[in-house]
Chain A
Amino acid sequence: MNVFDWKLVYAVPLILAISLVYGATRDERFGPILSHTWRSAVWVIGFMAVIYAALLWAGWGL
């Protein structure tokens, strides 16, 4: 079983875009926007990683 699917790289631009746009709707200044962007990206990646690990564990051996 492949632990890493190369198609996951398609998620990187999406995560960046979603985090940046979300961050930009939270403030008006560049510094806080980048700060929000970073926090959002970490949240999204962390959430995806947990789900990915759970699915990997559930499908292990299939």
Chain B
Amino acid sequence: MRRAVGSTSFRVRRQFGVCRVNARSDDRDEFPEVELREPAWAALLAWLIPGAGHLYQRRFAKAAIFFVTIMSIYVSGVAIGGGQVVYASWRPNDYHWQFACQAGVGLPAFPAVIQYFRARDGKMPFFADRAYRINGRGEVLEEVSVGTPGSIATGPFSPPPGPIPTDQRCVLSIWHERLQHRFEIGTLYTVVAGLLNLLAVYDAFAGPFFIVPEGKDDEDDDERKDDDS
């Protein structure tokens, strides 16, 4: 695979399985060998907790980079979005496809699944902090204290309750009203964190994409052919 980076052409070399990047001893400094141990297991761990797969592979520096970077973006996004931007919902006017990306961060997004099932079963969400009295069309009649009879509570990672009408003041519109741009920014941060973790999962599974300067591969191939002959 070739691609241009700046004014120089590079070749991208991909490795799968045990990442024996370069068998030639004189090239090991340039392309170090990477021990991937059990790649599938490492990938699963990397998905569950950012950096965990690399920790399992004893790639400590990269484990730290992935954990700190991805988790800081994710936690920042959740905080910026007031805990409301990561939730699972798939219904008219609220197809929250962003959760598919947010789930890429693994266990840190799992509370949204728990809150989804609690909401579906009509139970109060964990850590409920707000409650609303809404009518059958989803219109919010008033905001009340948590536990008020006839109200529906919301909490961090829980989906907005009730139907989501486009022409009424519903819970989702109240969240947007309260958080304003922070709802979008928080969503963006958490989505990006999930997508970045997929890169980390790939790195745990298949090793890094070493970029080999143009001509290096050709020289190596020629030298190997000479050695073989």
Contact = CB atoms under 8 A, between A and B. Distances in A.
Interface of A: 7, 10, 13-14, 16-18, 20-22, 24-30, 33, 39
Contacts of B76: 13
B62 A24 contact: yes
Interface in B40-87: 59, 61-62, 65-66, 69-70, 72-73, 76, 80
Contact of A18 (B66, B196, B203, B210): B196
A30 B208 CA distance: 13
Nearest to A36: B211
16 contacts: A13-B72, A14-B188, A14-B189, A17-B72, A17-B192, A18-B196, A21-B65, A21-B66, A21-B200, A24-B62, A24-B200, A24-B203, A25-B208, A25-B209, A28-B32, A29-B32
B192 A14 contact: yes
A14 B73 contact: yes
Contacts of A39: 5
Contacts of B34: 28
Interface in B178-208: 181, 185, 188-189, 192-193, 196, 199-200, 202-203, 207-208
B210 A27 contact: yes
A28 B60 CA distance: 10
Contact of B202 (A25, A27, A28): A25
Contacts of A27: 208, 210-211
Q: Which of A7, A10, A18, A28 has the most CB of B within 10 A?
A: A28
Which are the 5 A-B pairs with shortest beta-carbon distances? A21-B196, A25-B203, A17-B73, A17-B69, A24-B65
A24 B66 contact: yes
B181 A30 contact: no
Contact of B73 (A7, A13, A24): A13
A22 to B, nearest CB: 7
Nearest to A21: B196
A48 to B, nearest CB: 14
Contact of B59 (A13, A21, A28): A28
